[in-house]
Structure 1
Amino acid sequence: MTTLPGPPIDTDIRPAVLDQFTVDETGRPGRRPRGVAYAAGLDDVLAVMEWAREARCPLITRGAGTSLEGHLLARGDELVLDLSRADSILDISPGDFTATVQPGVTRTRLDAAAAEFGLQFTVDPGADASLGGMAATNASGTTSVRYGGMRANVLALQAVFANGTHARLGRAVRKSASGYALKDLLIGSAGTLGIITELTVRLHPIPEFLCSLRVSFPTVEAAVDAAVEMLGLALPVSRLELVDAGSMAAVNAFRGTGYAEAPALFIDVEAASDRAGDESPELRRICLAHGAVDIAWARTHTERHALWEDRHLLFFALKARSPGHRFLVTDTAVAFSRIAGAVGAATRLGAELGLDVSVAGHIGDGNVHVVVPYTDSTYEAAQHFSDRMVRHALAVGGTASGEHGIGLAKKKYLREEHEAAVDVMVALKQALDPLGLLNPGKILDA
């Protein structure tokens, strides 16, 4: 291991290693960081923070590296603090429905460990992200419609601050009215306010009976209207995902399936018996009332796994359909009454700009994702598309990002969305990190 002078733990400064940190999934350019430091626990993080403070060296904290908005790209001479080795599951407490973990534990690993107790970790952003990174970006995903995202599922955390101190924030209880909600302040802060070194998260019982289904509709609007009606009737839906016709065509080509190449909803329904789908005649009625052209039920574990694998592999299917391209993945979120309009705007704008856009989203949360393949010649058009989609969301009262965060790419929209509250954000950043050492230039300008 090549040593970077200063931090008293394993570090690496080999160019081939550092080059891995210069791009993210969407191809945004970054610089080589100064080096990479590997921390296995609190003491290592404290040692790196002390060195960074003395050397005035900024830090970028990294887990699995799955973020999509440039959170992890170096802009200058930062040191990357890699927490992937801090990967111990410290405790699972079935009676309390909680688990305490280090930040490098991935969501699928915790979910598998919890399953031995009949429990599950429910936040599912698709990628096998680390829990520390998921908390830092307030990740959500397919199950948020029922179980919420990370902010709803982190009860307590331990964090190291820029002044070298550390503290436990929150308590491992379901509710508390004690003091400021500092734990919630760090969740979603993308490592700009503190470094998360431990988390206590909520676990949920695995439903005794679960049914999954894929429902095809003639139009996106029909699918969205059906989804909103399901939510309005409080049906026991725990996943509610939208995939457009082009995406279904990509899945067919990638997976060798023969599904209807039409807009579709992917749905999980929880129930009290093994007749989960049949227990909800309202679900079938709603789908048919909105013109459903195909309803495919999946009741066994194998069938459900195959159905959701189709959804989770969608991005890879889209990549396979457009070889040689980079991919801009932009997300916004709008109120339920605005979902169809946002999806329609994405489709029209893509056609106007000559881009082959694909729409998929956590429709139960109003979260609209658009995947845009681009090359050097269409890069500007892709960026223009992303900008127009954000402007549309803000114009109808939505947000610039439902789950991917602000990072580098969406800073320019903050004041338009939050107005004077941005000044409060700046004051918080200056109070907790006056030297600007923690992930500088992300969310707010350095």
Structure 2
Amino acid sequence: MTVLELRDALVEALGDPGRVSDGESERDLHAGDITFHRPRRPDVVVYATTTEDVSAVLALADERRIAVTPFGAGSSLEGHVIPVEGGISLDLTRMDRVLDVSPADLTATVQAGVTRSALERATAEHGLFFPVDPGADATLGGMAATNAAGTTTVRYGKIRANVLALEAVLAGGRVVRAGSRAPKTSAGYDLLGLLIGSEGTLGVITELTVRLHGIPEHAVVLRLAFPDVEAACRAATTTVAAGTGVTRVELLDAWTIRAINAHQGTGLPVGPSLYVEATGSEATVASDLELVREIALSEGATDVVSERDPTARTRLWAARHSSAYAAAAAAPGKQSRSTDICVPLSELAGAVSFAREELERRGLVAGIVGHAGDGNVHLSLHVDPDDADEVRSSDELIELLVTDALARGGTCTGEHGIGLGKVHALEQEHGDLVPLMRGIKQVFDPNGIMNPGKVLPHLDVSLGD
């Protein structure tokens, strides 16, 4: 099938030529994510507006053996949205309706293209919020597909813990629903949990029902600076072990703080730092943060500052969320190759120290940040993709980080996912389980059209006969 024939077939299936494009600019916009991975244009971009649209596209694609790659905000970090076999980039951003907010049930139901900020606006008027905060203003469908997490995981968990039900379309066009609005279930295999984090390789998520929480009445952030990163990690670990109800425990190394100061014009003390937020009643917050303060001082904290003003707190978290952009500004001419691993809390200091030692030894440019409350370490690595030696060195670094994390009882990724960038790391971590994963993939997607090249090694499907 030629590209023109594919475009005409999709127009006929959807009944609207305005939602199918083979224009160069739109194909370029859907060729990559925000990181190092090389882009690859799809043959056609389709803009879905309903579940029925998605079903029609997948039915046609499965019949013709054409690759389909779901696309949301394009903010993924391991090449998830790159259509490595060409075919169809299925853009879900026009499926952007908040279908229901139920304060009585503490739930919201949204289409997959609703962004995190849009959901926040819809729920805030009810005094509620959705807690998963990956930093980027990602779509809820994309967040579910990658099992996103972020700064609040230590308190609220990843997105898998915050989705009660979803609707998805399987290869061939079949629409399925998993889960319900009930707070819990013991009914059968957990297909809801299986589809979440499947990275578009098992189906396309079109609708989600998510948990909401009441907006806390009080919030305070402690900004803590330490003499070395080991002390900061020990303080983070002790904070969690002490049973405090903190919402965020974020680690930033000295390199990152320096980059943020240069990029944002801030005057933060340059040194390994923790940003610790507590929320709840005023008395609870005061009690939790007093304990955190004592822990920090016992680890030799050199600076302890409370941020109570909402504007100051927003500014502080904006600086944290801008760390990737600050790192990019500190590495002109290079591209982001952000990566993450996750380890048990007792191994956090060792994992961070190992990462920094390897970075320095190789002369690579990267800041280290982490969701220290759950052992998740991120490297905002930047490399020149045209420098073969630098690329090779970064390959070796990531392989070493994964090997080190696994030796510490950890995992090759805490929240970025496998995508196309960590397929070999998944095999290293779960080689004994990969045959089971392949079996699941075969059941859901026998013709291999769903986001080929991601999670597991793929078969060429491209434009079918």
Shift of the alpha carbon at 1:411?
Answer: 0.6
State the one-letter code of the partner of 1:235.
T
Aligned with 2:437 (options 418, 425, 434): 425
Unpaired runs of at least 5, structure 2: 459-465
Deviations 1:355-386 (A, max 9, x none): 12210011111100011121132222222211
1:159 correspondence with 2:171: no
Deviations 1:408-443 (A, max 9, x none): 111112232113211110000001100001101210
Q: Which residue of 1 aligns with 2:310?
A: 301
Which has the bigger relative contact order, CA under 8 A and spacing at least 6? 2
Shift of the 305–274 alpha-carbon distance from structure 1 to 2, 3 Å rule, reads farther
Q: Map 1:8-407 to 2 at 5 A.
A: 8-9=13-14, 10-273=19-282, 276-277=285-286, 280-375=289-384, 376-377=386-387, 378-407=390-419
Which segment drifts farther, 261-270 or 97-106?
261-270
State the secondary structure of the residue aligned to 2:338.
Answer: strand
Inter-partner Cα distance in structure 1 for 2:200 and 2:287:
46
State the secondary structure of the residue aligned to 2:82.
Answer: coil
Q: Is the 8 A contact 1:209 1:274 kept in 2?
A: no
State the secondary structure of the residue aligned to 1:6.
Answer: helix
Which segment drifts farther, 407-416 or 116-125?
407-416
Shift of the alpha carbon at 1:92?
Answer: 0.2
Inter-partner Cα distance in structure 2 for 1:358 and 1:403:
18
Q: Is the 8 A contact 2:61 2:172 kept in 1?
A: no
Instruction: Give % identity.
Output: 45
Q: Is the 8 A contact 2:63 2:172 kept in 1?
A: no
State the one-letter code of the partner of 1:441.
G
Shift of the alpha carbon at 1:21?
Answer: 2.7
Which segment drifts farther, 81-90 or 252-261?
252-261
Deviations 1:176-197 (A, max 9, x none): 0111110100000001001111
State the one-letter code of the partner of 1:73.
I
Q: Which residue of 1 aligns with 2:422?
A: 410
Inter-partner Cα distance in structure 2 for 1:251 and 1:278:
30
Q: Is the 8 A contact 1:87 1:102 kept in 2?
A: yes
State the secondary structure of the residue aligned to 1:92.
Answer: strand
Inter-partner Cα distance in structure 1 for 2:403 and 2:253:
22
RMSD of aligned residue pairs (Cα, Å): 1.4
State the secondary structure of the residue aligned to 1:357.
Answer: strand
Q: Is the 8 A contact 1:36 1:81 kept in 2?
A: yes
Deviations 1:256-310 (A, max 9, x none): 1111100000111123227834664212111110111111111121111111111
Q: Which residue of 2 aligns with 1:440?
A: 452
State the one-letter code of the partner of 1:218.
P
State the secondary structure of the residue aligned to 2:221.
Answer: strand
TM superposition score normalised by structure 1: 0.97
Inter-partner Cα distance in structure 1 for 2:401 and 2:178:
36
Unpaired runs of at least 5, structure 1: none
Q: Is the 8 A contact 1:243 1:263 kept in 2?
A: yes
Which segment drifts farther, 347-356 or 6-15?
6-15
Which segment drifts farther, 210-219 or 130-139?
210-219
Inter-partner Cα distance in structure 1 for 2:299 and 2:122:
40
Q: Is the 8 A contact 1:271 1:279 kept in 2?
A: no
Aligned residues: 445
Shift of the 439–218 alpha-carbon distance from structure 1 to 2, 3 Å rule, reads same
1:6 correspondence with 2:9: yes
Shift of the 310–77 alpha-carbon distance from structure 1 to 2, 3 Å rule, reads closer
State the one-letter code of the partner of 1:223.
A
Shift of the alpha carbon at 1:341?
Answer: 0.7
Inter-partner Cα distance in structure 2 for 1:74 and 1:371:
24
Deviations 1:241-260 (A, max 9, x none): 00000100111111111111
